[in-house]
Chains A and B, each alone.
Chain A
Amino acid sequence: MAVRRPMRAFYVTLSIIAVVGAYLILRQSQLLRGKQSVTETLRAAPVAPMGAVAASGHVLGPDSAPVEIVEFADFECPACARFAILEWPYVQERLIPTGRLKWRFMDFPLRGHTSSPAAHLAAGCAAEQGRFFEMMDAIYNRQNEWVTERRPERKLRDYARQVGLDLSRYDTCVETRHAQPGVDADYAEGERLGVDETPTFFVNGREWPGILVYDQIKAIVDSLAPAGGARPGAAGARRR
């Protein structure tokens, strides 16, 4: 049966709304940006030189690594948690030990996220005991648990105990906000670089458009530092 003209116009309008809406959502959701080819993106001109960023962040991987990926992240951000839970374990287990990749986590608690500052401070205090990445895993894996608390400090302290921190040192650090200057320095660096969403990644000083997944990170490392060219180095976590 032929569709009448007014109905055809209606269905066309509906289809246009659906297509435009789906495109806008995909563009915002990083699904499209994340699909960009690694080689194509690496060829692009640098978006922002990293400059003085070497002075801050939580680092895992040897200083001699030819590839450095910097991640600006917020503990309250669901996309950051998704990356931390689904992609980060493979990066940590398979790429960092090769000595070809150095990872730098930069605190970037977004304005308006009310629970995030406490989590970044707690992770900073864990960093003072050399357990930043363990604490980061605990915070992200239980994001749904602490983020809904009116006062998340109690839950965060539980995680500190579970990752084996010296609780008296942790408590002192939290009470005196001893790790806060490091968090603030990371945030200021992000603002300087124009970071306005999380997670935002920089690959050797070049902003990566959208979110990264493990396969892309491996392709980046293989492209910039072919296996055999680097020696496994000291990969202990440290605060810069």
Chain B
Amino acid sequence: MRHRMAVAVLALLGLLSSVYLLLYKLGVVGTLVCGGSGACERVQESPYSVLFGVPVAAYGVAGFAALLAVALAGLGEAGAGRAWPSRLLAAFAALGFCFAAYLTYLEIAVIHDICRWCAFCALLITAILVISVLGARSFRPAPEP
């Protein structure tokens, strides 16, 4: 259960960060808080900030929201003591990690700028992957009452 709690907290932080980046992309946030370097905005204005016509930040919002929902379901009556939330979290986190790794590669090798918020999200999904895999491996079904 502690694994799922930790995933829920990290996923919420990722969700908030992704919402912030998405609002910037939609023109609701004037200037990103990014240490004054402008790197976040250069990354957000690059051609790679949109995938299939949808801002990349929107994928982050959807992914972290899904992780948060599964983690909370795994803590509630529907999932407590069952294995499927742990497996689903590990699967979602693996997908998210691959996506984040691709985006980080683009930042380093193609855009040549690191967006701190994107790096923060990449760290979060890495931590979520580690925790959720450990959670899935160490899961023990709840004893029958």
Contact = CB atoms under 8 A, between A and B. Distances in A.
Contacts of B77: 1
Contacts of A144: 50
Interface residues of A, number: 36
A89 to B, nearest CB: 15
Contacts of B27: 78-83
B42 A113 contact: yes
Given A17-B16, A78-B24, A114-B42, 16 more contacts: A1-B77, A10-B8, A17-B9, A25-B23, A30-B28, A30-B30, A79-B27, A80-B27, A83-B27, A112-B38, A113-B38, A113-B41, A113-B42, A148-B45, A196-B31, A198-B30
A230 interface: no
Contacts of B20: 25, 28-29
A147 interface: yes
Contacts of A113: 38, 41-42, 45
Contacts of A18: 12, 16
Given A110-B38, A112-B38, A31 B28 contact: yes
Interface of B: 5, 8-9, 12-13, 16, 19-20, 23-31, 33, 37-39, 41-42, 45-47, 50, 75, 77
B30 A79 contact: yes
B12 A197 contact: no
Nearest to B19: A25
B42 A21 contact: no
